[in-house]
Amino acid sequence: MSLFADLTGSVNAVRPGRTRMRNFDMPLVIAAGTLLALGLLMVYSASIALADGPRYAAYGQYYFVIRHAAFVFIGLVAAACTVTIPIRVWQRLAVPLFMVSLVLLAAVLVPGIGREVNGAHRWIPLGPINFQPSELMKVAALLYAADYTVRKQEHMQNFGRGFLPMACALGGVGLFLLLEPDLGAFMVIVAIAIGILFLGGINGKYFSSLLGVLVGTFLLLIWASPWRRARLFAYLDPWNQDNAYGSAYQLSHSLIALGRGEWFGVGLGASIEKLHYLPEAHTDFLMAVVGEELGFVGVMLVIGLFSIIVLRGFEIGRQAIAMERTFAGMLAQGVAIWFGVQAFINMGVCLGLLPTKGLTLPLMSYGGSGVLMNLIALAMLIRVDLENRTMMRGGRA
């Protein structure tokens, strides 16, 4: 009788532990949801005064926030559909999606198909919205690099079969993006690809060589382009009178906004810089408005939320790799690299740590294609986690 009681007690002691595991990663979902909600609020605050200026006189006060809310809703619907798709399906679609994205990048440059804005050819008009293929390429490059790492695992130390094909693929992507031009998107795509290759075990010498070539290429492109060179020198001395009224105009007003915010901000909606002083306050420089209205505390909150997403992404990827799901693991860690690198560049630009570069803040900045692809990538990360948890419970992914 005592033996039966001991066995019963031990079973009862184990069973609650098995059911205690949640069906999803709560810190990841809460962090992403908070960034989406905060982004919607800050886009509303940063764009409400734009209709008072001549450029957006034809738009209403709520034009941008309504469109952003619509993009978020569409993105959430797309994310809900993405979560239902098994990771093995995404692995099969990796190469076709990469090729389709390349074709769309080329189509942007074709007169009559692509749309030009301020000298840049980055968008394809689709009725009331403009689709940006470079955002789709971020997802495609993520899937392609993860699939490439799995397919070429035995040749990752080989130059001809492990290194050269990926270098050529990145070169093709870079050619189209630099013709648009969109150097910022190319930087993020390269960071995703080489980050996954590094985690996948590529030869250290080849990795260092690729990194050196890319850094050298970026510096050459900056030096060969007068307006990029002007941005670089302006970044080094933003308070010079010529720079402050020229190439460093955005940066100087971003720094003024952050300085005004101090510790706790001037109050939600009370920003002065968003009143036509800081250009693109609702897109590339949304973080400056966050710093002005919510202060240092608000900036640290945003940094903390992105840190949670990045850390959880790497942890989910580690769990997948431990269960011999290499593609899923590389995919999850690639999403973490994407969000971490793009958020770091955007914040670094707003804080004056990096030269000015047109990149949005993931999940927060106004922009339809960006928010949509961010949510799809996040849904893939959640799907990897769901499959991990299913396998931990003894099921099949």
pLDDT digits (tens, 9 = 90+) for 179-215: 888 888 888 998 999 899 888 877 677 777 777 777 7
> Does the predicted TM-score (pTM) go above 0.85?
yes
Instruction: Tell me, yes or no, whether 77 lies in a domain.
Output: yes
Contact 8, 366 (CB under 8 A): no
Q: What local confidence, expressed as pLDDT, does residue 19 receive? A: 52
pLDDT band at 312 (very low <50, low <70, confident <90, very high): very high
Region 120-125: mean pLDDT is 82
Residue-number span of the structural domain to which 225 is assigned: 41-388
Evaluate if residue 32 carries a pLDDT over 90.
yes
Residues in contact with 131: Cβ distance below 8 Å, sequence separation at least 6, in sequence order: 123, 124, 125, 368, 369
Residue 297 lies in a domain: yes
pLDDT at 35 over 90: yes
Within-domain flag for 235: yes
Q: Which of 11, 29, 28, 30 is nearest to 19 (CA)?
A: 11
Which of 79, 66, 189 has its CA nearest to residue 133? 189
d(CA 112, CA 198): 40
Would 170 be classed as within a structural domain? yes
Going from the C-alpha of 306 to that of each of 15, 44, 312, 356, 381, the distances in angstroms are 35, 21, 10, 21, 14
pLDDT per position as a tens digit, 238-247:
777 777 777 7
How many Å is the maximal CA-CA distance in the chain?
A: 90
Residue holding tokens 């973490």? 336
In tens, the pLDDT along 361-383 reads 999 999 888 999 999 999 999 99
Provide the pLDDT for residue 331. Answer: 97
User: In the prediction, which pLDDT does 227 show?
Assistant: 66
Query: Which pLDDT score, from 0 to 100, does residue 72 have?
Result: 96
Q: Is the pLDDT score of 3 beyond 70?
A: no
More confident call, 368 vs 17 = 368
The pLDDT of residue 353: 83
In a domain, 35, yes or no: no
pLDDT at 10 over 70: no
Say how many domains are in the chain: 1
Domain annotation covers residue 4: no
Instruction: Report the run of H or E that residue 153 belongs to, with start and end.
Output: none
Q: Distance between CA atoms of 120 and 118, rounded to whole angstroms? A: 6
